[in-house]
Amino acid sequence: MLINLQDKYLFTHIEKTGGSSISKTLQQNHLGNLYYVGNQLHTHRTSQREPIELKKLTKIGEYPNLHTRLALMEAYVPSEMFQKMFKFAFVRNPKYRIVALYMQQLKEFIEKHETVEDILNSAPDRFKITVSDEGKYIAPGEYIFDFEFFLKQYCSGSGSFGQIKMLSSYLDGRILADMVGKQENMEEDWKMVCERIGIAPNLPKINVMKGATEELYDKFYTKDTLDYMYESYKEEFEVFGYEL
């Protein structure tokens, strides 16, 4: 999440929606006016809150807490200030975003030159991870880490990697963002954001898997996993207007 107090906007970075490219562009244009949340915000409950700590960005590309939930800002930031800020985010078709998330988890297992097609053609038991009683960790181990395992063990709908969860209010579940662009319509939607915040609509491509296409991402699914994914993320398809 990036916060610009002078120009009064707030960008919620949802994983694998083009957020790294957007973040870099915002930093290149407004580095001196950008802040990030410098402490962990664990709860929206008033009695348990610690004061929010905003830290000024001083270097492009270096800030923690990239994926802070927007509802936490609603809870911690004074209401008048929160309402005046232009809050925007980008989402992506869950079908392809989940595959992109899986590919991201594989980064420590694959060579830099490998493509999506290379992953598809890999032996089923090539990737193995550790699973413990305390949780699941993306680290080498004994459990086969194929796409079905990732989908069914890590992605259970809005509570896991959920886009609606990132943007919705704790109070009533409504979407808090003033604008929700789509990764599939990035050029036009980003242009609208740039007109609002006063920067040129340039956008570099960052953190993109080599050879990534929707046609190849389709091949990760079986009928069973496609049905499972749709049932898990059905609300996202409906709220953001995506089709399977």
Lowest mean pLDDT among 2-11, 51-60, 157-166, 179-188: 157-166
20-25 long-range contacts (CB < 8 A, ≥24 apart) are 20/206, 20/207, 21/203, 21/204, 21/205, 21/206, 21/207, 22/90, 22/190, 22/203, 23/66, 24/60, 24/61, 24/204, 24/206, 25/199, 25/202, 25/203, 25/204
pLDDT greater at residue 156 or residue 123: 123
Type of residue numbered 175: I
Local confidence band at 164 (pLDDT 50, 70, 90 cut-offs): very high
pLDDT on residue 132: 60
pLDDT on residue 64: 67
Stretch 35-43: mean pLDDT:
73
Q: How far is CA 147 from CA 41, 101, 106, 125, 139, in A?
A: 31, 10, 10, 11, 15
How large a percentage of the chain has pLDDT more than 90?
Answer: 57
pLDDT greater at residue 171 or residue 49: 171
Local confidence band at 47 (pLDDT 50, 70, 90 cut-offs): low
pLDDT on residue 155: 82
Q: What does residue 86 show for φ and ψ, rounded to 5 degrees?
A: -80, 110
Local confidence band at 148 (pLDDT 50, 70, 90 cut-offs): very high
User: Residue 14 pLDDT more than 90?
Assistant: yes
pLDDT greater at residue 9 or residue 123: 9
Local confidence band at 134 (pLDDT 50, 70, 90 cut-offs): low
* CA dist., res. 56 & res. 33, Å (int): 7
pLDDT greater at residue 42 or residue 173: 173
pLDDT on residue 44: 57
Q: Among the residues of 31-175, which ranges form H helices?
A: 70-76, 79-84, 94-105, 116-120, 147-154, 163-167
The 10s digit of each residue's pLDDT in 27-38 is 999 999 999 887
Stretch 70-98: mean pLDDT:
93
pTM of the complete model: 0.90
Q: Look at residues 26, 20, 16 and name the one whose alpha carbon lies nearest to residue 86.
A: 26
User: What is the edge-to-edge ordering of all strands in the sheet holding 9-12?
Assistant: 54-56, 34-37, 2-4, 9-12, 86-91, 179-182
Local confidence band at 86 (pLDDT 50, 70, 90 cut-offs): very high
User: Residue 136 pLDDT more than 70?
Assistant: no
Q: What Rg do the C-alpha atoms of the chain give, in angstroms?
A: 19
The 10s digit of each residue's pLDDT in 175-233 is 999 999 999 999 999 999 999 999 999 998 887 888 899 999 999 999 999 999 999 99
DSSP sequence for 27-60 = HHHHGGGEEEE-S------GGGPPPP-EEE--ST
* CA dist., res. 39 & res. 54, Å (int): 8
